[in-house]
Amino acid sequence: MNELTNKVALVTGGSRGIGAAIARRLAERGADVAVTYARGHDQAHAVACEIKDTGRRAIAIEADSRNPDEVTGAVDRTAEMFGRLDIVVNNAGVFTVGPIGELGDEEFAHTMAVNVHAPYAASRAALRHLKPGGRIVNIGSNVAERTVFPGFTLYAMSKTALIGMTKGLARELGSREITVNLVHPGPTDTDANPAAGPNADGIRAFTALERYADAGEIANVVSFLASDEARYVTGASISVDGGFTI
Ligand code: NDP
């Protein structure tokens, strides 16, 4: 299935984890892909090389999501480099957890910059380039729907903001035939939440499927939303969480 042939995608935080899986899946379906990273230079370039080996075009762009100008620059550079931009996946995120009394203004600013301001800035910049059929897919979290553990106030707040952003933007861009959706992953085996981590059994127990997701299972749903098949889906929050929130 090559439904994304001739499309160009930007995936923020595409050096590893869910973002890398999304980048690979979009490329498998025919898209040319740019990924951003902050620290993972080698990993991001490895993802881009892997994609190029499959015959697609790919680029890794250093763009720290704490800085909206860098995010905006990555969007414009992708469009300039590939001549168009069709799909933006706002995936880069920081998983800041702990009792509210221990998370100060610095953690607040960092978390909101990466998880909220960066998707806002990327989406705003993308509007200069997206044409009818364009796609914005935001990556939220199951904890925006169901916050079962203490210590998630800041992270859940940041991810919940994406629900409002997704709905507002979907309404704003509908007349341009651009869809905007939000995917809430559940526990997914990545550096941020390893399936073999100390808290994994407790987390796993909240899922109906009694297991973590592989990052590719999140990427499957994102690539569907990016495709023409999903053209009537907009403003939706879609849980891909193994039943964590039921
Ligand atoms: P990882 O920690 O494995 O990867 C995070 C990615 O985000 C990396 O590519 C990282 O790049 C990038 N990133 C982090 N900070 C910045 C920054 N300041 N600027 C640019 N890029 C940055 O996380 P996951 O793959 O697990 O998470 C991906 C998304 O999915 C996040 O939004 C997360 O909140 C969400 N999510 C994950 C869940 C899970 O269980 N794994 C569950 C629910 C939601 P670099 O390598 O350069 O640091």
pLDDT tens digits along 109-143? 999 999 999 999 999 999 999 999 999 999 999 99
232 is catalytic: no
Domain for residue 107, yes or no?
Answer: yes
Tally of domains in the chain: 1
For residue range 215-229, list pLDDT tens digits in order. 999 999 999 999 999
Q: Which domain holds residue 82?
A: 8-184+216-232
Residue 196 maps to a domain: no
In a domain, 47, yes or no: yes
Q: Is 90 part of a structural domain of the chain?
A: yes
Tell me, in angstroms, the distance from the centre of ligand 1 to residue 204's CA.
Answer: 20
Q: Examine the predicted complex and report whether its ipTM is higher than 0.90.
A: yes
**121 belongs to a structural domain:** yes
CATH code where residue 159 lies: 3.40.50.720
What is the reported pTM? 0.98
Reference 74, options 25, 14, 162, 116; nearest CA is 14
Give residue 235 CA to ligand 1 midpoint distance, Å.
22
What is the best residue among 39, 71, 217 to mutate for testing ligand 1's pocket, by most ligand atoms within 8 Å of CB?
39
Could you tell me if the CB of 166 is within 6 A of ligand 1? no
Distance set, CA 60 to CA 26, 50, 76, 90, 196 (Å): 15, 11, 14, 15, 29
The answer to whether residue 35 is domain-embedded is yes
Residue 83 falls inside a structural domain: yes
